[in-house]
Amino acid sequence: MPERVEITVAESAGFCPGVKNAIDQVLELAKHRKKTIYTLGPLIHNKQVIETLKEQNIHAINSAAEIKDRGAILVIRAHGVTPEEEKKLRSLGLEVVDATCPLVKHAQENIRAHAAEGYSTIIVGDRDHAEVIGLMGYAAGRGHVVSGPEEAQKLPRLEKANIVAQTTQENEVFLAAVEEARKAAGELLVSNTICNPTRQRQKETIELSKDADLAIVVGGRNSANTARLFHICRRLAKKAVHIEKEDELKKAMFRGAAKVFITAGASTPTWMIEKVLEKARALAAGRSNRLLERLALGWKLVITGSLYTALAAAALTYVCMKLEGTPVSGKFPLMAGLFAFSLHMANRAAEKGAAAPDRARRLLFVKYAMQSRFAALICGMLAIFLSAATGWQVLLPAAFFWLLGMLYPCKLPLGLANFGYFPASKDILIALGWAFMCAGAPGLGQGGAMSNATQLAVFFAFLLVFTRSVLFGISHAHSDMITGKENFYKAAGPALTYLTLSFIFLLISATLITLKSMGWQPQLAAALLTGLLYYLGLLLFFYFSRIPERITAETLIDTQFMLLAALAYYS
């Protein structure tokens, strides 16, 4: 085993836009509709994700005949179907949702348009693949499927033809098939319908696998695009393996490997790639450090178990009390910490099917699920009890925000929409709850009224916590964890999200600069202004796609509150 093993992960690895779009659509349906959801075939070729979707009441079927509930929702997956099949599905009285990938739609329309002009269609792809079967339906009965140049040599004489590619086809195979097809067609139109994400993924795979001693391809064994990546790696790398899960990696695979390359198919979520990377690092090291493994698991439990979140809320409360100029009391940071722990833990338990099932999550939300929920409930009740001792003006809002947070993931009865129906609702609700508990409660509890200083602290806390929640959403989306438009990032998209976060940074900075110039706690304002540099660094870190895995990302995000509290203490 080499002393130092270099492991490179493909930047293009992870869900493609078409898969993300399909998953987002079915998740929005699952969140806001009480109907059972069926997908015609597996939504994506990944067993682990399919199992996760089952927990959201989303089930894969092979035929619409399997659906007994006529009130169910049937989703056409990203691969698409033939026009005849779609017409038949819509005649069954089911609610049909079309989640066909836009790039597959483009290929379908390309074939339809040229078929209408009398062109025969040549599709370079896998004959039995769902996408190719769907594409053939648009060829007006004049379609031919070839897997590559060898089969293209056997094409009959065609007067005029349009050659297209399965969207995940290998570019070199398509181009070689085009050259052979030219010999069979009097007129040949070349429509390279390979999607850009596939091109980028294959280009990166070719470049990086050339120098790899070991190439690891992660993805479902029935995934066509993953199989093509493996074919490229097997051809170019010294050794290549195709795995579905990190458990399939063995120490012997890394023997003699100084350079390891990891890539993944379009149906493989980033959180699975991260687990493969973690296992690869351990195996490549040649030995396992039990102490470090236990420390790593312990920290995962701290983060996943919301303990660090509770400390972050307590730290922010301390900062707000200093900003308000109220006497510092341990009661309010404790109250805010219990409040944040309770809601964060309860919501994380409710969302366990929507996240990467790592060991920490299995311990907290599977093995000790009842204990975790009980701890969340008890801590919430303690927070409300402490707020009651402070006065009704604190008790009523605290109870309101706590109940709202506990009900948030629930589907309401009588056909009412749950709170998650509204875009960015989760980030806004979290920010409002924290802003009151961290800033409003200390001001009201010790001053009895919402003073100007308290209003300022509430505004300051709201903006910081909203930013925190949005960054969490970016991290989860980057890891391909299953989330919906209740997150600002999912609802607004990358461009508007980063524009909004930049504006918030400028707004908070301007507020602190104004306070300093007005002489309102100038030392504290200057200290907090310095702390915002961490915020700026984090924002730039995320913007330039240097987003780490979930545990590290959440640690970095919540550490900003610890830093601000430390600066406030020494100011």
Q: How far apart are CA 77 and CA 81, in angstroms?
A: 8
Domain final position from 239, 258, 286 = 286
In tens digits, what is the pLDDT along the chain, a chain of 571 residues? 556 789 999 988 888 888 888 888 888 788 777 788 999 988 887 777 887 788 778 898 888 888 888 788 999 999 999 999 999 999 888 899 999 999 999 999 999 999 999 999 999 999 999 999 999 999 999 999 999 999 999 999 999 999 999 999 999 999 999 999 999 999 999 999 999 989 999 999 999 999 999 999 999 888 888 999 999 999 999 999 999 988 899 989 998 899 999 999 988 888 888 889 888 988 887 655 667 778 887 888 898 889 999 999 999 999 999 999 888 889 999 999 999 999 998 887 766 444 445 666 667 766 777 888 889 899 999 999 999 999 899 999 999 999 998 887 665 544 444 555 577 888 999 999 999 999 999 999 876 667 888 899 999 999 999 999 999 988 888 776 666 667 888 888 889 999 999 999 999 999 999 988 888 888 999 999 999 999 999 999 998 877 778 888 999 999 999 999 999 999 8
Domain final position from 86, 101, 116 = 101
CB 514 within 8 A of CB 551: no
| Paired residues of 40 in beta bridges | 61
β-pairing verdict for 120-124 and 95-98: unpaired
Q: pTM for this structure? A: 0.78
Q: Flag whether 267 is in a domain.
A: yes
Residue 331 DSSP one-character state: H
Domain final position from 268, 286, 304 = 286
Do 185 and 207 fall into the same domain?
A: no
| CATH code of the domain covering residue 243 | 3.40.1010.20
Do 319 and 337 fall into the same domain?
A: yes
Q: How far apart are CA 554 and CA 559, in angstroms?
A: 8
Do 277 and 301 fall into the same domain?
A: no
Sheet holding 37-40, edge to edge: 58-61, 37-40, 73-76, 95-98
- Which domain does 223 fall in, by range? 6-13+198-286
Give the residue numbers marked as catalytic: 131
Q: Flag whether 57 is in a domain.
A: yes
Do 467 and 326 fall into the same domain?
A: yes
Do 434 and 520 fall into the same domain?
A: yes
Instruction: Please name the residues in contact with 166: beta carbons below 8 A apart, sequence gap of 6 or more.
Output: 123, 124, 125, 126, 129, 131, 132, 135, 193, 194, 224
First-to-final CA distance of the chain: 52
Do 240 and 345 fall into the same domain?
A: no
Place of tokens 């236990």: 294
| SS3 of residue 268 by DSSP | coil
Per-residue H/E/C for 400-463: HHHHHHHHCCCCCCCCCCCHHHCCCHHHHHHHHHHHHHHHHHHHHHHHCCCCHHHHHHHHHHHH
Do 227 and 184 fall into the same domain?
A: no
Q: Flag whether 319 is in a domain.
A: yes
Do 161 and 74 fall into the same domain?
A: no
Structure tokens at 320: 């707000």
Do 484 and 393 fall into the same domain?
A: yes
| CATH code of the domain covering residue 314 | 1.10.600
String of b and e for 414-432 (b: at least 16 CB within 10 Å)? eeeebbbeebbbbbbbbbb
Structure tokens at 410: 């629930």
Q: Flag whether 291 is in a domain.
A: no
Do 336 and 447 fall into the same domain?
A: yes
CB 112 within 8 A of CB 138: yes
Q: Flag whether 1 is in a domain.
A: no
Give the chain's domain count. Answer: 4
CB 260 within 8 A of CB 214: yes
Q: Flag whether 273 is in a domain.
A: yes
pLDDT of residue 414: 40
Instruction: Please name the residues in contact with 495: beta carbons below 8 A apart, sequence gap of 6 or more.
Output: none
What confidence tens digit (pLDDT) does each residue in 143-188 have?
Answer: 999 999 999 999 999 999 999 999 999 999 999 999 999 999 999 9
pLDDT of residue 354: 43
| Paired residues of 160 in beta bridges | 187
Do 21 and 86 fall into the same domain?
A: yes
Q: CB-based burial of residue 459 (10 Å sphere; 0-12 exposed, 13-18 middle, 19+ buried)?
A: middle
Do 382 and 253 fall into the same domain?
A: no
pLDDT of residue 288: 54
Q: Flag whether 410 is in a domain.
A: yes
| Paired residues of 10 in beta bridges | none
